Structures are given as structure tokens and as C-alpha cells.
Amino acid sequence: MQALVVYCHPVEASYCASLRDAAVRGLERAGHDVSVVDLTKDGFNPVMSRNEWEQYIATEDVIPQSLEPYVVQLQGA
């Protein structure tokens, strides 16, 4: 089974990073193929601008180009 762990925290020595690592280890021990997405390292901006929102409302079925890699990874998990 494919598993995707999505992580976002600016401090690598954080509790969140420990949870990420524990999840990855547990999934791998269970025989899963694990991928990790680190949104902070990717420079992901979670804030949608007004322009982005207006484009989303006008074309709901269109995935913004900046999100396409994430959509592909989610679909593969």
C-alpha cells in the first residue's frame, strides 16, 4: 500500500517532526511504501489570495498549477 505523510512545521526538531518520523517508521514496518511531503521545505503558502479565490470560484474543476504535484501525490497514495 502507498502511504503519503504530509508534514508542515518550520522547526525540524519539533514534536510534529517526531510524530512524522514515528508515523513513517510505523508505516514502513507494516510494509507500506511511504512518501513524505514537507510543505515548509517546498515553500508552500497556505494563504489563498483574492485573485486565486476568484479564479477558483470561476473554474472549480481546474487545479492551480502550483498544486498539481500535490494532487498527483495524493492520488497515488
Task: Specify the CATH number for the domain of residue 37.
Answer: 3.40.50.360
Residue 29's pLDDT is: 98
Give the tens place of pLDDT for each residue, 10-43. 999 999 999 999 999 999 999 999 999 999 999 9
- Number of domains composing the chain: 1
Question: 27: which residues sit within 8 A by CB, 6+ positions away?
Answer: 3, 5, 34
Beta-strand pair 2-7/33-38: parallel
- Full domain range(s) for residue 10: 2-76
Instruction: Provide the whole-model pTM.
Output: 0.78
Of 23, 17, 31, 18, give the one whose Cα is nearest residue 5.
23
What would the mean pLDDT of 45-65 be, rounded to a whole number?
85
